[in-house]
Structure 1
Amino acid sequence: MAELSFIDRPLGHPIKYKSIVDVFNENVSKEPEKDLFIQRFPDGTRRAITLSDLKLRATHTASFLLDQGIQTGDRVGITGPNSIEWIIGELAILMTGAASIHLPIIQGNFKKTLFEVKISGCKLVLFDPEDDKSFLKDTENFLTNNPPQGEGNPSFVLLRKTGNSTLTDVESLAIEYPTDRELPRIFPESTAVVFMTSGSTGKPKMVEFTHLALVNTESAFMMYRGENESGGICFSDRPFSWIGGNIIYCLLEADTRVFRDGRITAKGGDIMELWDIIMKEKCTSGLFLPFCIYDILQNKDKIIQTGYRMKSIITGGQIIKHKDTGIIGEVCERMYMVYGSTEVGLVTYCQLDSDMEVGQLGSTFPGVQIKVCGEDLNPVVRGEMGTFFIKVPWMLKGYINATEDQNKLIVDGWLNMGDVGILRSDGGLIIKGKTSNIIKRGTLKVVSGDVEECITSIAGVNDVVVLAVPDERVYEEVCACVVLDKTTPITMLDVRQRCTEILGDNVIGQDPTYFLEFDSLPRLATGKPDKVKIKQEAMIRLNIKTNLY
């Protein structure tokens, strides 16, 4: 009888019945003067905070929040750019026993942010509008007309003093509040954080986690350092609001993290400025998404000339291509790809090399169960393609304000990852892409990841996203959105011809029917391609109506 596509790796140790604050306090007692977070600024200056100072300042802020009426079980929103103030605010929320709700801040549009605040049930919001004066003014006007004492009206408190604003800010006031105040007891089963998903395929989901789940996340260390490595310094400028950039794992592992404003990296800022930070802070590891790996590759010779090499680079979020491994042995000693989601954290990791199989996911972390299922939701025979379902001890508690479609993602305690792939007979787990990225052209199923791998292997192609566009005759057609290197002689005709040679035609093969050239591909705050915007632009340029499906 053929073996079914199922993996079960036991956890191997008892679950720790502790809250995030419990574990953080233990770390403070062990290494009170250790720099836990280091913020770097564009002008070259830095700001560090130790474990003991973070505890002191967060306790002041927690006391302030309790005085504002925050109670155990309340929801407190937090939003703004990466900063020391954000870290203090997050820990303070957890100290009160409230849940920290990671909210998006929509530049120049207070009404949309207010909508998110209200539907998530936040009693108070800690926020940093930066230099968005209109947003700040709208907030002040809202509080004037809707005082927090009114039923259902949230409070808004600044994370740091901003200009001449009349709003309360914790940076100025929290220091006046006592640190010897008795803080609430926090039960590990209570909600700790609500993360927002990246929204790469649509509206972001609000994912709820307990203290117990986050404390026992077996894969937490891999977010900031390589396998079996400890005691180093990690660089990561991913947004704090995103699980891939969150601060919780540093609080739990006491790993030092260097960060800056992640928008600089996402927008293609000077990679040598980033590398200068890495050298000066002696970072031994770094979390870089594929778009940053691309920037590093483009500047590899300059980086090599600095003479500094990291021990480990961790990446993920997209299927890693062969050319991405070109930094191994020169920019870093080792490179890892991690796989997971906001809902279940990291579930697999793989040390990469130039001979890797594209899409390989490597080893599962202890505690992970994976099954590859067919349309009937039962495991397929090993070697057959199916959808990944995952169960882990530290998975989400649930979705906040879940839609019907979101509720369908959890089936008998298993999360539908929305990814398709294969569990081979030898135990190798291979991902092919998202379920939504399986393009149904007539009777043929085209895997967009395979087409992207083909196109990125062509010299002179900088970036590509392959997606489905509706078609009246064959249901869906394959569209390649390509960014070319303007310094090379390559043309879109060259790309078309090469694809046909490798992929076959666009009838029984996987060759795209449409090729569109982009100067650059729009991205989300997390750095992932914004496939919603890319598809909208593609359909406009192809003059395809949205009602064809």
Structure 2
Amino acid sequence: MTAKVTAGQAADDPAVPTLTGLLVQRVRDTPEREFLRFGERSWSFAEIDDWTSRLAHRLIEADGVRPGDRVAIMLPNVVHWPVAWLAALKAGAVAVPINSSYQRADLAFVLRDSGARVVFTDALRRDMIVEVVAGEDEVADVRVVDVADDGAEPFPATPPAVPVDGGVLANLQYTSGTTGFPKACMLTHDYWVRLGWICASATGLGPEDVLLTAQPFSYMDPQWNTALALTVGAPLVVLPRFSASTFMTDVRRHRATFFYVLGSMPTLLFKQPPSPEDRDNDLRLVFCSGIPAGLHVRLEERWGAPWREVYGMTESGIDLFSPFGDIDGVGSGSLGQPVPTKQVRVVDLDGNEVPDGEAGELTIAGTPMMTGYWNRPEDTARVLRDGWLHTGDVVVRHPDTGIRLVGRIKDMVRRGGENVASVEVEAALERDDLVVSAAVVAEPDETLGEEVKAFVQLAVGVPAGRATAERIVERASKELARFKVPRYVEFVTDFPRTPSERVSKPALKTRAADDPGVTYDLGPRRARGGFLDIGIVRGVAVLTLRRPEKLNALDVATRLRLAAAIRKFGTGERVRGIVLTGEGRAFSAGEDLRSAPATDDEMREAFASFHDITRAILETRVPVLAAVNGLAVGGASEITLCCDARIGTPAAEYFQPENCRGITISNASSVLLRRLIGNHATRLVLGSPRIRADEALRIGLLDEIVEPGVLIDRAIDTVIEWTPEGNMTALHLALLRPLTEDVEAAFAREDLAAVQAWESGLLTAGIEGFLSTDRGSKEETST
């Protein structure tokens, strides 16, 4: 019997209807031919047939497994995985793949939900499984088999006499579980055999080829690779795991002619350093899901083989395919056209088919297809409607170029009435050489409903900072509509992933909430909250005033947002404390005098916004520290006075130039300065001297001086030191801080003084004098 399936046979029924029948056929045709290769060891079709027959007898005779019983497999990528799978199928049982990285809760759920009778595992996981079985009444009868000694040897090497046909259930294949607990797709022998048959037809692979896979065997990809190998009579190489740095070396070493990658894997591979050996391989073709359109041509040129998109789901196997002869589709972003056994519709929310060129949900009918979700009739009815599988993917269909993925229905950002597909933004970001991988999510926004946030993994050696975030987003903005450009960027070292190597966005959001990093807000600053970055480091909120080109001068929007952020974090429900700092050559320069008040209302708003920062700080239930990295001048110096401590660098400097400029002090300085530094306050305000770091430490403006590189860490350490478990920090802060009535009385005096300065013209003249002096110094510098 030939082991080659031609392109015209894709719609035909497979010649052999079951996986176990395919193995029997291969043994009849080429018993000594290599079938499976793990590391340096390999097994022929005959060896695997004998082993799986013995193990199937053991399951039946020693473990009491009957047709339809569930047999779970919890193993990494070792040969015992496909052996246990095929043995369970020979026994008429249903295989239940379990992710080998699952912990107790996930494991217990799958064992309960599937009703497994037996679990194949290894020594590393055996004790955990035994503990789960012992502690769960519903799974108390589960037998645990360590594959190091599977007990198969005494049993006969002939297949047990168990009738199996194409309609018999082969797998309960649990999905990745991106929302809640996973669901199990019920997959028959026909599903797997037909999937292998269609892929064989699409690729033209034959016995002379070598297949290679690196995904976890508990996921469906290595399983359909196994079905493909059984269909065409070719060996399958299974790597322990996917490693971008060694993958292509393994491809060359094993002389692989075909592999399948998905998700971020192509991008990770391409971003490895180029090598003169890149084209020194035996590749004939590559299947991929999620080829970055901008990298498609470069992937093919680098490794010298055609890469073609294939689309499918666990629920449906293979649905769309871009033929290897379709040169025009390279780099187009097209998923291709339906395979001959599938029909496709693109529908709106009401199930009506949309015209070509309009976005809608992709729905699929045909074979292969799951028969439903195990124990989930409601979920099955929701997804399988009138014979059509609703994929949840949003696509656009073009008659000539095929189907293009836009995004997931649940993976969209709804920004101010505009739908933003996360996948489109991610692709634009990942085309940047600075970026290894990106994940885009929705960030709640009071005005627009949702904003676009990008989590970004940078290439090795690229600094994680605002400048990098701005550069990446600026590049992406040249490819994206304005409303699709990320407002927020957070850098990460890695991503939590599903077994299929897709980013698990629910897990990413949970991690970001539990242990947030620094988030860079790149939105329109004046309109949406000023020059302020907000991040959480080691459980401490770090609020950074950023306007270095103007000594971090604050505008009203920034002050309002700063007060709101302090109140948000000051409850102690999300963080242990707050650190205020600045970026550039100064902590801040207080009021932005180039946009100074021009009316009575603006003047009052300016003072009120400073007062509000003071109130916000003094109302917190957590420590608030100022980390002063340079010149703290005017209003910013006054903000630090409200804090519970001030830590500076040797470059820290305090400067209150108000009196000599005809400008009124604000922010309760009349109370707080006297409280902190006593009689030094008069000299500081009336004389307007520059107070260097050493003197600031001596008189009490600073509590500590540290080197610049450890400033923020030292401030965070102090917050953590002051907030031990079971502490009374909030009560002590309330006792140590000034009384509310004293601060409010100071506000009233300052407001009166400000009005007098405004009405007399002193305030306006002082501002003009400052600007004139500033312009003169710049002109002198330029000459």
CA distance in 2 between counterparts of 1:260 and 1:314 reads: 17
CA distance in 2 between counterparts of 1:145 and 1:432 reads: 45
Is the 1:75–1:100 Cα contact (8 Å) retained in structure 2? Answer: yes
Of 468-477 and 342-351, more deviation after overlay is shown by: 468-477
Aligned to 1:462: 436
Q: CA deviation at 1:378?
A: 1.5
Aligned to 2:69: 74
Of 236-245 and 191-200, more deviation after overlay is shown by: 191-200
1:119 to 113, 121, 139: 113
Is the 1:10–1:366 Cα contact (8 Å) retained in structure 2? Answer: no
Aligned to 2:45: 51
CA distance in 2 between counterparts of 1:429 and 1:145 reads: 49
- Counterparts of 1:125-140 in structure 2 under 5 Å? 125-128=119-122, 130-132=123-125, 136-140=126-130
Q: CA deviation at 1:180?
A: 4.2
1:535 aligned onto 2:509: yes
Aligned to 2:715: none
Aligned to 1:164: none
Aligned residues: 503
Seen in structure 2, the aligned counterparts of structure 1 residues 293 and 382 have a Cα distance that, compared at 3 Å, is: closer
The superposition leaves residues 114-146 of structure 1 with CA deviations (integer Å, 9 ceiling, x where unpaired) of 332122111112222x534xxx33444566789
CA distance in 2 between counterparts of 1:82 and 1:455 reads: 32
Aligned to 1:22: 21
Of 421-430 and 410-419, more deviation after overlay is shown by: 421-430
Aligned to 2:56: 62
2:474 to 493, 497, 516: 497
CA distance in 2 between counterparts of 1:393 and 1:305 reads: 38
Aligned to 1:343: 315
Quick one: which amino acid aligns to residue 302 of structure 1?
S
Q: CA deviation at 1:227?
A: 2.5
Q: CA deviation at 1:82?
A: 1.4
Aligned to 1:302: 275
The superposition leaves residues 134-161 of structure 1 with CA deviations (integer Å, 9 ceiling, x where unpaired) of xx33444566789xxx996333333422
Quick one: which amino acid aligns to residue 403 of structure 2?
L
Aligned to 1:83: 78
1:254 aligned onto 2:249: no
TM-score of the superposed pair, with normalisation by structure 2:
0.60
CA distance in 2 between counterparts of 1:145 and 1:530 reads: 29
Is the 2:186–2:373 Cα contact (8 Å) retained in structure 1? Answer: yes
1:410 to 375, 379, 384: 384
The one of the two structures with greater contact order (alpha-carbon pairs below 8 A, sep at least 6) is 1
1:242 to 205, 211, 219: 219
CA distance in 2 between counterparts of 1:362 and 1:117 reads: 38
Aligned to 2:97: 102
Is the 1:503–1:511 Cα contact (8 Å) retained in structure 2? Answer: yes
Q: CA deviation at 1:31?
A: 1.0
Aligned to 1:157: 144
Seen in structure 2, the aligned counterparts of structure 1 residues 232 and 303 have a Cα distance that, compared at 3 Å, is: farther
1:436 to 395, 410, 414: 410
- Counterparts of 1:307-318 in structure 2 under 5 Å? 307-316=280-289, 318=290
1:327 aligned onto 2:306: no
Of 334-343 and 474-483, more deviation after overlay is shown by: 474-483
Is the 1:337–1:349 Cα contact (8 Å) retained in structure 2? Answer: yes
The superposition leaves residues 68-121 of structure 1 with CA deviations (integer Å, 9 ceiling, x where unpaired) of 2111111111121111111111111000111111123455x4454233212211
1:228 to 197, 204, 217: 204
The superposition leaves residues 336-393 of structure 1 with CA deviations (integer Å, 9 ceiling, x where unpaired) of 1211101111111224869735430113211110000011111111221100000122
Q: CA deviation at 1:229?
A: 3.3
CA distance in 1 between counterparts of 2:181 and 2:109 reads: 14
CA distance in 2 between counterparts of 1:185 and 1:79 reads: 26
CA distance in 2 between counterparts of 1:85 and 1:486 reads: 37
The superposition leaves residues 280-323 of structure 1 with CA deviations (integer Å, 9 ceiling, x where unpaired) of 3211122223433234323353253673352222211x352312
Q: CA deviation at 1:181?
A: 6.7
CA-based RMSD of the aligned residues comes to 3.0
Seen in structure 2, the aligned counterparts of structure 1 residues 421 and 181 have a Cα distance that, compared at 3 Å, is: closer
Any idea what SS the aligned residue of 2:76 has? coil
- Counterparts of 1:138-177 in structure 2 under 5 Å? 138-140=128-130, 153-161=140-148, 169-170=149-150, 173-177=151-155
CA distance in 1 between counterparts of 2:108 and 2:276 reads: 44
Seen in structure 2, the aligned counterparts of structure 1 residues 359 and 202 have a Cα distance that, compared at 3 Å, is: farther
Aligned to 2:187: 209
CA distance in 1 between counterparts of 2:363 and 2:134 reads: 49
Is the 1:10–1:367 Cα contact (8 Å) retained in structure 2? Answer: no
Of 236-245 and 177-186, more deviation after overlay is shown by: 177-186
Seen in structure 2, the aligned counterparts of structure 1 residues 83 and 112 have a Cα distance that, compared at 3 Å, is: same
- Higher gyration radius (CA): 2
Any idea what SS the aligned residue of 1:388 has? strand
CA distance in 2 between counterparts of 1:467 and 1:36 reads: 43
Any idea what SS the aligned residue of 2:195 has? coil
CA distance in 2 between counterparts of 1:422 and 1:537 reads: 33
Any idea what SS the aligned residue of 1:436 has? coil
Any idea what SS the aligned residue of 1:432 has? strand
CA distance in 1 between counterparts of 2:461 and 2:135 reads: 56
Q: CA deviation at 1:244?
A: 1.6
Any idea what SS the aligned residue of 2:222 has? coil
Aligned to 1:192: 170
Any idea what SS the aligned residue of 1:125 has? strand
Seen in structure 2, the aligned counterparts of structure 1 residues 339 and 454 have a Cα distance that, compared at 3 Å, is: same
Seen in structure 2, the aligned counterparts of structure 1 residues 17 and 292 have a Cα distance that, compared at 3 Å, is: closer
1:31 aligned onto 2:30: yes
Of 461-470 and 492-501, more deviation after overlay is shown by: 492-501
The structure with the greater share of residues assigned to helix is 2
Q: Percent identity?
A: 23
2:451 to 477, 482, 495: 477
Aligned to 2:368: 394
CA distance in 2 between counterparts of 1:303 and 1:326 reads: 15
Is the 1:422–1:430 Cα contact (8 Å) retained in structure 2? Answer: yes
Of 20-29 and 517-526, more deviation after overlay is shown by: 517-526
Is the 2:329–2:401 Cα contact (8 Å) retained in structure 1? Answer: no
Seen in structure 2, the aligned counterparts of structure 1 residues 218 and 442 have a Cα distance that, compared at 3 Å, is: same
CA distance in 2 between counterparts of 1:332 and 1:524 reads: 30
Any idea what SS the aligned residue of 1:394 has? coil
The superposition leaves residues 411-447 of structure 1 with CA deviations (integer Å, 9 ceiling, x where unpaired) of 1111111101111243621111111122211211112
Aligned to 1:6: none
CA distance in 2 between counterparts of 1:521 and 1:278 reads: 25
Seen in structure 2, the aligned counterparts of structure 1 residues 143 and 408 have a Cα distance that, compared at 3 Å, is: closer
Is the 2:268–2:436 Cα contact (8 Å) retained in structure 1? Answer: no
CA distance in 2 between counterparts of 1:530 and 1:303 reads: 35
